Amino acid sequence: METTVKLAKAAFRKQMRATLKTVPFESIEQQSKAVTGKLLATPEYQRSSKIALFLSMKGEVDTTQILRDVLESGKQCFIPMCNPEAMEMVLLKSWDDFEKLPRNSWGIPEPQPQDGRLNALDPSVGGLDLIIMPGLAFDHSGNRIGYGKGYYDKFLAKCFTVATEKSYQRPSTIAIALREQYVPSVPAGPQDLKPDQIIMSL
C-alpha cells in the first residue's frame, strides 16, 4: 500500500510540475496579489506576532509582499533553512537582512547554518502563532501534497509536539496556492498533514 502511494505521488508530482510551468507570469502576479490581500485580512494573520513564512520560488504564489508586511508590522518573521534531512525556521531580522541572503539551488534566498540565527522552536520564542506554508497541490478535502522532501510534515509534527510539551497554543497553519494547484483529489498519505486553511485567488 505504501509503495502504491509513493508511486502515485511521484506520477502526480511530475504532472503538477509540468502544469505549473505553463502558468503565465502575469497570472501568477495577479493571483499573488489577490492571495496576499486575503491572507493579510485574516484574523489569524492580524493577531499573530510570530510568523513562519516560506520564501517563494517560480511557480508559486509570490510571498514578497507578505514578507514585507510581516517585517513592516513589527512581527517576528521566521523563514526556512533546510538540510537534506529536515527544515528549520530561523529568524529574519529585516528587509535588508532578506536582501543579503544567498540563493540556494532552487533560486530561493536562504540563511546559512553559520549565521547563528534564532530558531523558531527555541524556548525564548515561546512558540509560533502562524505558519504560512506552500505545497505542490491541494484538493477539495483540504489535503496537501508537498514537493517530496517531507520538510513541512516533519516540521509541523515537531512544532506541534513542542507546543504540547511546553503548553503553548498550537500555531495556526495557512497554505497559499495558485488556482492551478487546487485539484479534485491528491494522493495524500496519513503522514501528510492538512493545513487549517487554504487561501487561493478563486
Strands of the sheet containing 197-199, edge to edge, are 87-92, 76-82, 50-53, 130-133, 172-176, 197-199
Task: Name the pLDDT band for 191 (thresholds 50, 70, 90).
Answer: confident
Q: Is 37 labelled as part of a ligand binding site?
A: no
- What is the pLDDT averaged over residues 100-111? 93
State mean pLDDT over 67-89.
Answer: 96
145: annotated binding-site residue? yes
Statement: the pTM of the whole predicted model exceeds 0.85: yes
Model pLDDT for residues 35-55, shown as the tens digit of each residue: 999 999 999 999 999 999 999
Q: What is the mean pLDDT of the chain?
A: 95
pLDDT digits (tens, 9 = 90+) for 81-104: 998 889 999 999 999 999 999 999
User: 138: annotated binding-site residue?
Assistant: no
**What is residue 91's predicted lDDT score, i.e. its pLDDT?**
98
| Residue 55 annotated as part of some ligand binding site | yes
pLDDT in tens, 3-34: 777 889 999 999 999 999 999 999 999 999 99
Distance CA 185, CA 199 (A): 17
Record the cell numbers describing residue 12, joined without a space. 502526480
Annotation-wise, does 11 bind a ligand? yes
152 assigned to a ligand binding site: yes
Q: Is 148 annotated as a binding residue?
A: yes
Structural domain containing residue 46: 2-199
Number of domain units in the chain: 1
121: domain CATH number is 3.40.50.10420
9 is in an annotated binding site: yes
- 150 belongs to an annotated ligand binding site: yes
Cα–Cα nearest to 12, from 180, 113, 145: 145
- DSSP secondary structure, 15-82, as one string: HHHHHHHTS-HHHHHHHHHHHHHHHHTSHHHHH-SEEEEPPP-TTS---HHHHHHHHHTT-EEEEEEE
**189 assigned ligand-binding residue:** no
